[in-house]
């Protein structure tokens, strides 16, 4: 099969690697890809949101299947567009993508179908905000309604902070929406739970826990993710049944009642309180960096899974997993998630031999004059597998030490819940 992969981050590099390993793969093109994917695929640097131009490229390369990595093209209707032009594509349609594209949409489904989630209010003005604050304890979570590249959420400890962040949203800081959602703050343990879904059924597709704060001991600003590990030890059979019965099934039922079925990856972001799950958010794609720790554990040919979803036969596929743990640590540009420098040379990557047990997934890099330079905040995902999380992390530290990049930093406490000795 000729495969086109949409996206250019660490998640897409991990997807590309898994597609590359498939026996069904003939050729892979990545749009736009990154310096990591160029080693196993052909990168084509075009704007993937320009669907008409994208269609020309797909037809030129005789693409059999398109796999969409990031959320933005999904929310913008890439699946609907390509399906209309008779090109097979893996991912949810535009309507189903509102689960991530609109926080308000997701919350209204929760309210209608009694899905456990934080108390909330959708706000269109300051009056709505004030009303919520009158009856809510601090801290309060403020979320921009639309996509905001992971930057549209703030945990506010004072009313002043709530009003300040709300003002930014109302004034269009995040462009996609001038509407917001206020939520009560839930205190528990976060976990990412993944499913693969087709029209008729769904199957478990891994669990992970990530570290969103930039600083060790979970301090500092929120980020896109500083590291992750899989599987998540907090997931047990009782909890899993609750997730499926109380959250997943009612959500998919809500879409079916609108005659809008879900197909693709479904990321269920949860807060676990006393072994009860509360829905924080849905993502309509694999998480980043969770994807980088789940896919290395996958035994089943990923293209067989994608084809089964498209043909609504996921129930006929046995998804099996390697008996191993996996961890990734994100190597970031100094200053991230605030201002940081780009274009800093990264040395010695070519001296680190690839292995079935460890990977370096490129996230924010660029290739110029046969050299690798930093080109983002989250730059490299150093990923390793093994039995002991302790030894896995030590191996990652060893690999990071081999990389010569003076502008990089990382958290040394990734996996602190499963590794007690720091």
The per-residue b/e assignment along 62-93, b for 16 or more CB within 10 angstroms, e otherwise, is: ebbbbbbbbbbbbbbbbbbbbeeeebbbbbbb
Q: Could you give the CA distance from residue 86 to residue 43 in angstroms, rounded to a whole number?
A: 23
Say if 402 falls within a structural domain.
yes
Residue 406 has pLDDT above 80, yes or no: yes
Q: If residue 21 lies in a helix (H) or strand (E), which one and from where to where?
A: helix 10-21
pLDDT at 176: 67
3-state helix, strand, coil in the chain (%, to 5): 30, 30, 40
Domain annotation covers residue 332: yes
176 and 193 belong to one structural domain: no
pLDDT at site 174:
79
CA distance 148 to 222: 13
Task: DSSP for 212-280, please give it.
Answer: -EEETTTEEEE-S-SEEEES-TT--HHHHHHIIIIIIHHHHHHHHHTT----EEEEEEEEEETTEEEEE
- 63: in domain: yes
- pLDDT value at position 48? 97
CA 104 – CA 149 distance, rounded (Å): 17
Q: Are residues 134 and 216 in the same domain?
A: no
89 vs 310: CA distance, rounded Å: 8
Place of tokens 């989250």: 378
**Does 368 score more than 60 pLDDT?**
yes
220 and 294 inside one domain: yes
- The answer to whether residue 99 is domain-embedded is no
The pLDDT assigned to 186 comes to 95
Phi and psi (nearest 5°) for 217?
65, 30
Please indicate, yes or no, whether residues 295 and 389 belong to a single structural domain of this protein. Answer: no
Backbone φ and ψ of 62, nearest 5° = 50, 55
Q: Tell me what the mean pLDDT of segment 159-174 comes to.
A: 89
Of the CA atoms within 13 Å of residue 2, those in its CB half-sphere come to 11
**Spatial distance between the Cα atoms of 372 and 342, rounded to a whole number of angstroms:** 11
- On the CB side of 275, CA atoms within 13 Å amount to 6
Dist. CA 208–CA 267, nearest whole Å = 10
Share of the chain above pLDDT 70, in %: 99
Instruction: Give the tokens for residue 72.
Output: 């933005």
Residue 59, domain member (yes or no): yes
By CB neighbour count within 10 A (0-12 exposed, 13-18 middle, 19+ buried), where does 18 fall?
buried
Domain closes at, from 164, 184, 204: 184
For the stretch 278-334, pLDDT in tens is 999 999 999 999 999 999 999 999 999 999 999 999 999 999 999 999 999 999 999
Number of domains composing the chain? 4
Which CATH number is 286's domain given? 3.30.470.20
Domain membership flag for residue 64: yes
Look up residue 347 and give its DSSP letter. Answer: B
The answer to whether residue 218 is domain-embedded is: yes
Q: What is the mean pLDDT of the chain?
A: 95
pLDDT band at 241 (very low <50, low <70, confident <90, very high): very high
Residue 414 counted as domain residue: no
Segment 36-67, tens digit of pLDDT: 999 999 999 999 999 999 999 999 999 999 99
Mean pLDDT of 15-38: 97
Range of the domain at 308: 189-316
Given a contact cutoff of 8 angstroms between Cβ atoms, the answer to whether 328 and 361 are in contact is yes
User: Stretch 89-110: mean pLDDT, rounded?
Assistant: 95
Contacts of 45 (CB under 8 A, 6+ apart): 31, 32, 33
Work out the angle between the directed axes of helices 126-134 and 159-170 (0-180°, nearest 10): 150
CATH code, 32: 3.40.50.20
**pLDDT of the residue at 421:** 60
Q: How far apart are CA 207 and CA 325, in angstroms?
A: 11
Please answer whether residues 253 and 262 qualify as being in contact, where contact means their C-beta atoms are separated by less than 8 angstroms: no
- The CA distance from 288 to 171, in Å, is 28
Domain boundary pick from 76, 108, 131: 76
Q: Which residues of 235-264 are buried (b: 16+ CB within 10 A; e: fewer)?
A: beeebeebbbebbbebbbebbeeeeebbbb
Whether the per-residue pLDDT at 230 is higher than 70: the answer is yes
Give the chain's radius of gyration (CA, Å).
21
Q: Helix (H, G, I), strand (E, B), or coil: what is residue 19?
A: helix
Count other C-beta atoms under 10 Å from residue 233's C-beta.
13
Neighbours of 114 (CB within 10 A): 9
Q: Which of 270, 292, 316 is the last residue of a domain?
A: 316
pLDDT band (50, 70, 90) for residue 106: very high
Residues 235 and 290 in one domain: yes
Q: What is the CATH number of the domain that holds 137?
A: 3.30.1490.20
338 and 268 both lie in a single domain:
no
Please check whether residues 199 and 292 belong to one and the same domain. Answer: yes
Spatial distance between the Cα atoms of 270 and 33, rounded to a whole number of angstroms: 30
Closest CA to 140 of 123, 167, 118, 124: 118
Residue 401 has pLDDT above 80, yes or no: yes
Confidence of residue 173 (pLDDT cuts 50, 70, 90): confident
- Cβ distance 262 to 197 under 8 Å? yes
Report pLDDT for 172: 83
**CATH (domain of 353):** 3.90.600.10
Q: What percent of the chain has pLDDT over 90?
A: 88
């Amino acid at each position: 099969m000729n495969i086109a992969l949409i996206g250019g981050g660490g998640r897409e590099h991990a997807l590309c690697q898994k597609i590359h390993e498939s026996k069904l793969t003939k050729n892979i093109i990545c749009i736009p890809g990154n310096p990591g994917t160029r080693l196993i695929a052909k990168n084509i640097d075009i704007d993937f949101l320009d669907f008409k131009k994208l269609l020309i490229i797909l037809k030129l390369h005789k693409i059999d299947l398109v796999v969409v990595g990031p959320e933005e093209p999904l929310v913008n209707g890439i699946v609907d567009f390509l399906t209309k032009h008779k090109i097979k594509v893996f991912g949810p349609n535009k309507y189903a993508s509102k689960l991530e594209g609109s926080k308000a949409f997701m919350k209204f489904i929760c309210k209608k179908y009694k899905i456990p989630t934080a108390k909330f209010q959708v706000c269109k003005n300051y009056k709505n905000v004030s009303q919520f604050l009158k009856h809510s304890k601090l801290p309060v979570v403020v979320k921009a309604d639309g996509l905001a590249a992971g930057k549209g959420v703030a945990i506010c400890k004072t009313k002043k902070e709530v009003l300040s962040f709300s003002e930014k949203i109302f004034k269009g800081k995040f462009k996609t929406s001038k509407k917001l959602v206020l939520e009560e703050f839930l205190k528990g343990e976060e976990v990412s739970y993944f499913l693969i879904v087709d029209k008729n059924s769904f199957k478990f597709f891994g669990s992970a826990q990530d570290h969103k704060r930039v600083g060790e001991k979970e301090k500092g600003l929120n980020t896109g993710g500083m590291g992750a590990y899989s599987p998540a030890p907090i997931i047990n059979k009782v909890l899993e049944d609750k997730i499926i019965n109380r959250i997943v099934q009612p959500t998919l039922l809500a879409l079916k009642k609108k005659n809008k079925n879900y197909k693709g990856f479904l990321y269920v972001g949860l807060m676990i309180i006393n072994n009860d799950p509360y829905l924080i958010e849905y993502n309509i794609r694999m998480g980043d960096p969770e994807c980088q720790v789940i896919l290395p554990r996958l035994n089943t040919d990923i293209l067989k899974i994608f084809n089964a979803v498209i043909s609504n036969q996921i129930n006929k596929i046995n998804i099996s997993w390697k008996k191993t743990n996996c961890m990734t640590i994100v190597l970031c540009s100094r200053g991230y998630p605030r201002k940081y420098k780009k274009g800093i040379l990264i040395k010695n990557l070519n001296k680190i031999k690839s292995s079935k047990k460890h990977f370096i997934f490129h996230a924010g890099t660029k290739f110029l004059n046969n050299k690798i330079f930093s080109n983002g905040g989250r730059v490299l995902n150093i990923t390793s597998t093994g039995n002991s999380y302790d030894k896995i992390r030590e191996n990652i530290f060893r690999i990071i030490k081999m990389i010569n990049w003076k502008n990089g930093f990382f958290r040394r406490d990734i996996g602190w819940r499963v590794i007690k000795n720091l």
